[in-house]
Amino acid sequence: MAEHEEPGAPGLFGGVFARGDAQTGDTAWLQAMLDAEAGLARALERAGLVPAGSGAAVTEAAQAGNFDVAELGELAPLTGNPVPALARALARRVPTAAAGAVHLGATSQDIMDTAAMLLAKRAIDVILADLARAAAAAAGLADAHRSTIMIGRTLLQQAVPVTFGLVAAGWLTSVDEARAGLATVSARRLAVQFGGAAGTLAPLGDDGPRVVALLAEELGLAQPVLPWHTDRLRIIDLATALARVTASLGKIARDVTLLAQSEIAEVGEGSGEPAPPGSQGARDGASPRRGGSSAMPHKHNPVASIAILGCTRQAPGLLATLVACAEQELQRAAGAWHAEWEPLTALLRLTGSAASWAAELLSSLVVDTSRMAANLAATKGLPLAEHVTSLLAGVLGGAQAHDLVAEASQRAVSAGLPLRDVLLAVPELEGRLASAGITPEQIESALEPSGYLGAADAFVAAALKAHEALDARLSQGGQDG
């Protein structure tokens, strides 16, 4: 867990807020900075600006295990960031002939910004993999439950029938759109930073642009048109793409918490993972079960959904901070750039954790179709009032039909009767229906939930088709336009 022990997510909370393999801790940051320095040395060598072998020498030395994170942290206050101390320490670890290739032409922000892009790219690869798992699970749910009818709910009240397949298809489409946006940012907006002291690369003269191109090639990042020291739109684009992911996952988690309520119980979370090997719970067999309560033995809480929401609720504030940091002075910012590091790190970590939780949640979601049917039946036909109104409007007019069905619905609720019984058994209503030529069979048909699903199945099919297309595009290295 040491990799995850960072501000905002110490070891005690890492299992919730730093779940998954999207490494963003101090060691990951350090390695990304070292990779930026090593990539620069290789680019400089390819440009013929440093002795042959310099790139390999710096790369060999640029391993996080060779450096003391705590010591670098203690030296960082001297310069406001850890790069100067790191550059000196790295230069001491390479042969004298190669030392001149370390940090040549660069400023601290070049290394930090490039490291942030590398850190983001590596984290995004993991996040996208977890999102692909989540999307595949959602697609499976959508396909399997295309005909599973349930009550739809608007403003938290019973509305009209829907299918659980359509609900899952909504989850799927949202996750896929978030995946596509994140893949686009990863491919197009994560760029190297190399501008030197004030964005001119003056120490390299006319060779500067060529080194930038070589550096981008070495690190697998985009090549910017020019240095972006105080143009932070790339950071905003990255943060926005991450926030879109958390918004998508937060909606799914909120739906599950609502549908998993004891009084509704239409879905439930799977049992989750066992206690980690080597933990006290695994050794003594007495580890808390997933979803358990410290006080109430009967409870099965939707822990994965709750954890997702715990991650995603933090994202808007982090995004707002990063957007606020974009106002930066002249050629180099006094504080705003520094203020980006922790919120960006936290946003990457929390998004990665939410994606990991979501992949497990959707892969193990328990769907209770019998409970869905029972809850729908318990509505006694009231959610089909709109359908009955549509039937009557053709002969009575819209307003009169609405008023008649509203009156019947009120009577049904007051008497605790099915809407059908009121419509067909109350003399004054029955007479009005008969005079309009509406038969009992037509009323019965209008009150059948399966006959009032509209384009639900077509929408599910469209979502599944779009999902297959996105998977194919992303597997070929494409991104959403």
Q: What is the spatial distance between Cα 287 and Cα 80, in angstroms, rounded to a whole number? A: 44
- Helix residue spans in 260-289 (DSSP H): 280-284
Whether residue 54 lies in the annotated active site: no
Whether residue 293 lies in the annotated active site: yes
Q: What is the spatial distance between Cα 112 and Cα 417, in angstroms, rounded to a whole number? A: 69
Contacts of the segment 429-433: beta carbons below 8 A, 24+ positions apart = 429/404, 432/396, 432/404, 433/392
Helices 54-61, 26-46: axis angle to 10 degrees equals 170
What number of H helices and E strands is found in the chain?
Answer: 21, 4
The number of C-alpha atoms within 13 Å of 253 and in the hemisphere containing its C-beta is 26
Helices 164-188, 108-144: axis angle to 10 degrees equals 160
Residue tagged active-site, from 46, 93, 332, 473: 332
Per-residue burial over 121-154, b if 16 or more Cβ lie within 10 Å, else e, is bbbbebbbbbbbbbbbbbbbbbbebbebbbbbbe
Q: Which two tokens stand for residue 35?
A: 């990779």
Cβ partners under 8 Å of residue 104, min gap 6: 40, 41, 44, 49, 50, 203, 204
* Cα-based angle 458, 464, 467 (whole degrees, multiple of 5): 140
Residue tagged active-site, from 279, 293, 313, 435: 293
Residue 41 Cα distances to 99, 217, 472, angstroms: 10, 13, 37
Q: Which two tokens stand for residue 20?
A: 């998954």
Q: What is the spatial distance between Cα 5 and Cα 83, in angstroms, rounded to a whole number? A: 21
Is the CB of residue 120 less than 8 Å from the CB of residue 220?
no
Q: 149: helix, coil or strand? A: strand
* Phi, then psi, of 10 in degrees rounded to 5: -65, 170
- H helix or E strand, kind and range, residue 113: helix 108-144
Pairing of strands 366-367, 267-268: antiparallel
Q: What is the spatial distance between Cα 454 and Cα 393, in angstroms, rounded to a whole number? A: 18
| Catalytic positions, written as ranges | 293, 332
